[in-house]
Amino acid sequence: MYTLLRSGKAALMAAMALAALSANAETKIGAPFALSGSVAALAADMKAGAALAATHVNAQGGVLGENYELLYRDSACEPGKAVEVVKSLIEEDGVSALVGPVCSGATLRQAQSVSIPAGVVTLSVASASHLITNLRDRDLVFRTALSDSYKGEAMAAYVFEQGVSSLSVSFASDAYNTSLAKVFTQAFEKLGGEVVINQVHQPEKSDYKREVDALAGGSENLALFAYYGSSGTQLLKDAAVGGKITTVFGSDGLLSQELIDTIDAALLSGISILTTSADESRQSFKIWQSLADEAGIPASGPFVANSYDAAFMMALAIEAVQSSNRDMISEGLRQISGPEGEVIYPGEFAKAAAILKSGGSVNYEGASGTVDFDAKGDIAGFVSINKVVDGQWVAQLMTSQ
């Protein structure tokens, strides 16, 4: 059994060394992150967030006295690839559960085809499609990301509040962007807005001039639902050339340095991107901010805090039920996600483990906010609007659910 350490950098280093020397047994969790493909840059920061959680757990004794290992595999934000790597993680590596995937299409496909039939819990870090909410999942699919049912409605309200009463909509044909665009469109029209053009576009095209011409023919305002790496950047580059689209409202898959580096300044100034966010006034975020800063991780990066929370909560869940058996982890997640129990903040694994072993209960308050799962495995949360100010994205917290 590893010694439970309370604080201090020297103690942290000592515990990490002890864990490295003593790891004769391991608790293995699959981490099918999108390490290549359309969101690879975003996913790299998400992976860093999850990895930091594992570091904290192992520095404080590990899970059930065992080394807590995240087995990373590249699901590439592709449904077929996700099925392949998750099947390997479950059948060959023998993981107890999954932290990830990142993309909605990948999460939906692997859950339906692999993890649900195998009785393995999925705790996704960024998949937001509302289709996930209604999966017949036997309480096996959870997520620390806000559902697009919330985000689409919040985005519609924001657009309408800006005085925009009509616009064109373009969305990539993948599961996440299709789903979010549908929720947004329905909410915008319910508020009294008009969608003049409702266009689906295919990812990975070399240019989108025809699509942009059609969109601009409908309105100078555009709601764009796409990943920056697959269609978003190119579509906006083509829009900037024409100059007929002046205002763009985007989804979180667009948020990237690439847009700042490549999109014409005139159009860039008119872009607003809605993302899942964290309430930085909360104690849990302040603690997370300190931990992330020390590790050199962007605390407010898209889904970075959500990824930390997912990996940390998975370890807490196993500790709560005192077993890494697949059929007990769902129960464990519900036990540690509150609202009952002593509050546990990011990094406080040893404290939580001691409470649980003494028969107490804990309520994890996450880096991303309150992560109390509802009956469908969803959470409430926060969103922000991101705009470019002095060459960088600046977020303004918009609302909470």
Segment 134-144, tens digit of pLDDT: 899 999 999 99
Out of 59-73, 116-130, 345-359, 377-391, pick the least confident. Answer: 377-391
* Mean of pLDDT values over 95-117: 96
At residue 148, the pLDDT reads 82
For residue 253 the two structure tokens come to 């898959």
* Mean of pLDDT values over 98-107: 95
Please give the share of the chain, as a percent, with pLDDT higher than 90.
80
Looking at the chain, the domain(s) classified CATH 3.40.50.2300 span 9-145+280-380, 149-269
* Mean of pLDDT values over 43-56: 97
Residue 22 pLDDT exceeds 60? no
Collapsed DSSP state (helix, strand, coil) of residue 344: strand
pTM of the predicted protein model: 0.78
pLDDT tens digits for range 330-344: 999 999 998 889 999
| Element housing 331 (H / E) | helix 329-336
| Element housing 278 (H / E) | none
Residue 363 pLDDT exceeds 50? yes
| Element housing 29 (H / E) | strand 26-33
* Candidates 3.40.50.2300, 3.20.20.220, 3.40.50.300, 3.80.30.20; CATH matching 149-269: 3.40.50.2300
Residue 18 pLDDT exceeds 70? no
* Mean of pLDDT values over 161-189: 95
DSSP-assigned states of every residue in 169-221: EEEESSHHHHHHHHHHHHHHHHTT-EEEEEEEE-SS-S--HHHHHHHHHH-SE
Name the residue with higher pLDDT: 234 or 38.
Answer: 234
Residue 4 pLDDT exceeds 50? no
Cβ burial, residue 394 (10 Å; 0-12/13-18/19+): exposed
**CATH class of residue range 9-145+280-380:** alpha beta
The conformation of residue 376, written as its DSSP 8-state character, comes to T
> Mean pLDDT for the chain?
91
At residue 21, the pLDDT reads 35
Q: How far apart are CA 223 and CA 170, in angstroms?
A: 6
